[in-house]
Structure 1
Amino acid sequence: MHWVDKLILEYEQGRRELKKMYKNADGKAEKKEINSMIGDMTFSIEWMKNGTQPDMYLGIDKKGAYQKDHFDNMDMFPSLDVIPERRLTEEEKQAIFLKLIKLTARERQCFIMREGYLWKLEDIADELEISKPAVHKTLERAKRKLSLAETA
């Protein structure tokens, strides 16, 4: 997992915790402060996911700019070699890269663990600390985005 993907997941967890704090907050001033923090976290998460400042409509959109260098070295996917003696060409690696950047961080994690490393759904669920049905749904979404078979 790339450092930005980890950071996004940490920020999303922090935002969930802030939302719980907001529900349990007593005073109006406390709720206002927590709500401000939630807004800042949401802004940061959106910026990290898109690679551009949120709510900006001018300039070039470089979607996922911070996540792109993670796939520069496609040799990190040894099981993507179709035949053990054969290595992926640069064109094949580029084609895979262009498909994978269409996925969210979670979809990319699940997809690579399942299709690249051939992990079982249970193992992926344990690693990501989510339920097995959540892994299954995430894989279905990823495959739909990649125009692959409907089932995981």
Structure 2
Amino acid sequence: MKRELNAYRQVEDLGPATLEVYIETRRGLLLAADKLTRRMRELEPIRTVEEMDLILQLDRDRKLIVEMISDCSYVIEWLETGRRPGNRRGIERRAAYQREIPTDPARLPAVAYRDADPEEPPEADSEIKHLRLMAALRGLTDRERECFSLAHGQGCSYSEIAGLLHLSKSSVGTYVVRAQRKIAANVGSVVVLVG
């Protein structure tokens, strides 16, 4: 009986850890678990204490092999999909703070504005426009700022923005139009700088 138990406990070098090796290992483990199950069924009408011990040992070995099969299946799924099994959110679906796209306001197109004092030098005029644009951007909601920056600062199409922010194209259009209206209204108003 000891010889029979040792026949099931073999240690093998499985080679490199590749998907094919894991699949082949799982296949071998499934066959080993099947052999143990069949052997346990052959010993079913238990007559002696030694047979009972053998069946209990075979059952423990089968449970260990089933755990190994589960581990191999886990690794196979990870290697096939490229992501950890059981994760609820993959890397392609990020949280809101991870989707932020920093944009330099200087790259935004200039808004038509002709309410400046004609006696001011052009450098001061552009500095005032820049400050007013910055203030106008601060007056937007996060979504409006994201959509406006991507549409006008990065030159993305509405469908590209919709894909990036997981919105519909019509929602992106709505956010961009709202942002344009708010910026047009805020750039024309007086900027009060505090601090």
Q: Please, what TM-score do these two structures have when normalized by structure 2?
A: 0.32
Whose radius of gyration is greater, 1 or 2? 2
